[in-house]
């Protein structure tokens, strides 16, 4: 939802003034209990029934039905707030902007003065509200996913007065995650909107008017749509919960500031509160909040997508970068550990500095909640070069990803990409020219010759297209295979071209094995492209978020990336490749030490 323009906000404020002058009635208070969780998962505009089709009877929406409005707001009780009023009375009606020539003198007992908050409390920003001049006293605050709850020093001053309210609205299993006072200046409108972010789906937000000079001149409206928003009464002490997925807006048409207490809670246990020190500095983004003292606690990068090429790595990288706590690298395929490796740099420190130039390293130092990563799908095959460099330069627990797909389809997609004439000059150069002018079958035959010369496939009858299974089982995993694989990597994995490894990039067991020998198994997450399509992107990404130790976040754009159309494979060639890859595919479950049916026979060929 695009932010409202100044002109739109001015028009909405003028409309609010008109409604106040006309005496728009408040909706009746109805204690409907807590807003139901299912009603908070989607913007209410999307929950409404679609218009009737031709011939279908239109359902009536009587005014008395709209008054209930169960998904949008509900009264949670009423309470005398005199004790709280006394605490926030001083200075609530003043302007503390630095550009105000009549900025009030500093009073040590004024909680509204940001100069006091800077020294005695902790300065928290709320960008839109700050821009509108809304003042605040922040007591508890959390990130967008409620993974961190910060208790500010002033909490102890207000807790005794706020506790009776919390006792009324907080359920037995509730965890308070935010508490703050907001002072809305006269003549200011918070425009019609619904909130976004993961917190909206989990959090229950309760408003409590505290200081309201003339409640008839404060217009707080909420409803499933702009047209059906209703007015909520803002008498001091009226505790009401709103559904932040609903449309809502607030206008102060009075001559004094209006002060609300806002408390947010979730069901179930939350993280342990972190006690902030007076004057402590924090760093915020739209969805994260971190202590400045925690800077440099997360190294850069945090993850690498190793490959396999043409197995969905571009899509995976795009999906990961849709998480609000993930920052894209300066370029997707850094190649800092293979093509761009700088042998002239003689120390690990210099190599690290060089590699980190491909990321927003300095910016990330201040945001330990956020992370970044690399997606260079040539790394998986080039383990001989990459593993020792990675372990030396990135000597922390790196999260590694491997995407695999049917190796037969992967091979055709690989061939189609590098032989395509479409693309920029740089892309065409990177793909290489070695396969141009050759048929798919010619490239297969050339690759098999290289593999045989290295002693890598002694069990494969090239002419007949069959595997000697007795020899395969004896050779697989043996020192002879390891030696042959190492020789192949030495001789046939070049740099600065993508036209190599048509078949070996699909031998996933041989590629993954060195990584599992070099890293603990929990470093590596292997995903199957076909499973992502079958189970859905969101299901797969739940595994990814867990592997990255990130809170779950829905992917908005599930569109596959970097796909292309190409000619179907010759049926005989397809059968030939299926026969070649089939015994290798069936080893995946053993190598991954998985009893999942997904890996038992990952690509069954008819």
Question: Coil, strand or helix: which one is 183?
Answer: strand
413 annotated to a ligand binding site: yes
- Which pLDDT score, from 0 to 100, does residue 63 have? 39
- Which pLDDT score, from 0 to 100, does residue 197 have? 85
Q: What span, in angstroms and rounded, lies between the C-alpha atoms of 460 and 579?
A: 10
Res 564 pLDDT > 80: no
Distance in Å from the first CA to the final CA of the chain: 49
Q: What span, in angstroms and rounded, lies between the C-alpha atoms of 562 and 427?
A: 13
**Residue 560 DSSP label:** -
Q: How confident is the model at residue 59 (pLDDT cuts 50, 70, 90)?
A: very low
- Which pLDDT score, from 0 to 100, does residue 128 have? 84
Q: Encoding tokens for residue 480?
A: 């002879």
Element (H, E) at 272: none
β-bridge mates for residue 284, sequence order: 289
405 annotated to a ligand binding site: yes
What radius of gyration do the chain's Cα atoms show? 31
Q: What span, in angstroms and rounded, lies between the C-alpha atoms of 101 and 472?
A: 85
Res 150 pLDDT > 90: yes
User: Half-sphere exposure of 120 toward its Cβ, with a 13 Å CA cutoff?
Assistant: 19
β-bridge mates for residue 249, sequence order: 221
Residues 548-574, mean pLDDT to the nearest whole number: 89
Cβ(488)–Cβ(383) under 8 Å? Answer: no
pTM to 2 decimal places: 0.88
Q: How confident is the model at residue 2 (pLDDT cuts 50, 70, 90)?
A: confident
**394: Cβ–Cβ under 8 A, 6 or more apart, which residues?**
299, 301, 352, 355
- Which pLDDT score, from 0 to 100, does residue 64 have? 41
54, burial (CB in 10 Å: exposed 0-12, middle 13-18, buried 19+): exposed
Neighbours of 293 (CB within 10 A): 12
In 226-316, DSSP assigns E strands to: 230-232, 238-242, 247-252, 258-267, 273-275, 282-284, 289-291, 303-307
Element (H, E) at 7: helix 6-21
**367: Cβ–Cβ under 8 A, 6 or more apart, which residues?**
283, 285, 288, 290
Is 6-44+66-290 in CATH node 1.10.10.10?
Answer: no
Res 123 pLDDT > 50: yes
Q: Encoding tokens for residue 175?
A: 């965890």
Res 412 pLDDT > 70: yes
User: Half-sphere exposure of 209 toward its Cβ, with a 13 Å CA cutoff?
Assistant: 23
Residue 75 has φ and ψ, to the nearest 5°, of: -75, 135
**Residue 320 DSSP label:** H
Domain limits, the chain: 6-44+66-290, 303-600
Among residues 221, 167, 230, which one has the least CA distance to residue 193?
221
Cβ(116)–Cβ(280) under 8 Å? Answer: no
Res 597 pLDDT > 90: no
What are the C-alpha distances in Å from 412 to residues 214, 381, 415, 576? 73, 17, 5, 13
136 has catalytic annotation:
no
Question: Coil, strand or helix: which one is 27?
Answer: coil
Q: What is the CATH number of domain 303-600?
A: 3.40.50.300
Q: What span, in angstroms and rounded, lies between the C-alpha atoms of 564 and 431?
A: 15
Summarize pLDDT for 202-261 with one digit per residue, the tens: 999 999 999 999 999 999 999 999 999 999 999 999 999 999 999 999 999 999 999 999
- Which pLDDT score, from 0 to 100, does residue 69 have? 46
**From the candidates 310, 346, 429, 483, which is the catalytic residue?**
310
**Residue 289 DSSP label:** E
Residue 123 has φ and ψ, to the nearest 5°, of: -80, 120
Q: What is the dihedral of CA 192, 194, 195, 201, to 10 degrees?
A: 160
């Amino acid at each position: 939802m695009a932010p409202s323009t100044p002109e739109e906000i001015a028009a909405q404020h003028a409309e609010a003034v008109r409604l106040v002058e006309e005496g728009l009635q408040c909706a009746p208070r109805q204690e409907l209990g807590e807003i139901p969780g299912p009603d908070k998962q989607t913007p209410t505009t999307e929950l409404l029934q679609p218009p009737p089709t031709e011939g279908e009877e239109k359902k009536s929406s009587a005014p008395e039905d709209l008054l209930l409005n169960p998904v949008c707001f509900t009264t949670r009780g009423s309470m005398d707030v005199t004790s709280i009023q006394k605490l926030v009375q001083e200075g609530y009606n003043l302007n503390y902007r630095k550009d105000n020539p009549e900025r009030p003198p500093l009073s040590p007992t004024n909680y509204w003065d940001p100069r006091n908050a800077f020294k005695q409390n902790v300065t928290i920003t709320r960008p839109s509200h700050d821009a509108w001049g809304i003042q605040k006293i922040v007591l508890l605050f959390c990130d967008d996913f409620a993974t961190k709850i910060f208790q500010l020093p002033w909490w102890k001053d207000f807790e005794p007065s706020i506790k009776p309210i919390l006792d009324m609205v907080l359920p037995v299993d509730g965890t308070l995650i935010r508490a703050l006072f907001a002072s809305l200046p006269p003549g200011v409108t918070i425009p019609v909107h619904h909130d976004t972010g993961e917190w909206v789906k989990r959090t229950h937000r309760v408003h409590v008017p505290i200081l309201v000079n003339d409640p008839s001149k404060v217009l707080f409206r909420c409803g499933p749509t702009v047209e059906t928003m209703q007015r909520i009464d803002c008498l001091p002490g009226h505790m009401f919960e709103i559904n932040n997925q609903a449309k809502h807006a607030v206008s102060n048409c009075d001559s004094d500031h209006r002060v609300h207490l806002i408390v947010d809670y979730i069901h179930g246990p939350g993280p342990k509160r972190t006690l902030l020190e007076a004057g402590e500095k924090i760093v915020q983004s739209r969805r994260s909040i971190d202590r400045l003292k925690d800077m440099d606690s997360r190294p850069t990068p945090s993850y690498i997508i190793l490959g396999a090429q043409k197995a969905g790595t571009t899509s995976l990288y795009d999906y990961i970068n849709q998480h609000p706590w993930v920052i894209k690298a300066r370029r997707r395929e850094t190649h800092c550990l293979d093509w761009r490796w700088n042998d002239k740099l003689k120390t690990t420190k210099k190599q690290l500095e060089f590699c980190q130039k491909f990321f927003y390293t300095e910016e990330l130092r201040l945001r330990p909640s956020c992370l970044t990563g690399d997606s260079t799908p040539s790394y998986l095959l080039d383990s001989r070069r990459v593993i020792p460099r990675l372990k030396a330069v990135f000597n922390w627990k790196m999260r590694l990803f491997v995407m695999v797909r049917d190796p037969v389809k992967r091979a055709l997609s690989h061939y189609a990409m590098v032989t395509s004439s479409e693309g920029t000059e740089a892309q065409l150069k990177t793909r290489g020219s070695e396969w141009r002018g050759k048929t798919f079958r010619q490239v297969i035959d050339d690759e098999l010759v290289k593999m045989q010369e290295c002693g890598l496939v002694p069990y494969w009858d090239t002419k007949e297209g069959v595997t000697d299974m007795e020899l395969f089982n004896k050779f697989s995993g043996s020192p002879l295979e390891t030696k042959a694989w190492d020789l192949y990597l030495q001789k046939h994995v070049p740099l600065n071209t993508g036209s190599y490894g048509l078949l070996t990039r699909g031998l996933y067991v041989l590629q993954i094995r060195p990584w599992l020998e070099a890293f603990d198994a929990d470093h590596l997450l292997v995903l199957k492209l076909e499973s992502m399509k079958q189970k859905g992107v969101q299901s797969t990404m739940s595994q990814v978020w867990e592997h990255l130790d990130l809170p779950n976040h829905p992917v908005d754009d599930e569109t596959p990336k970097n796909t292309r159309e190409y000619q179907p494979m010759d049926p005989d060639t397809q059968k030939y490749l299926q026969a070649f890859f089939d015994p290798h595919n069936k080893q995946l479950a053993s190598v991954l030490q998985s009893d999942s049916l997904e890996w038992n026979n990952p690509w069954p060929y008819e």
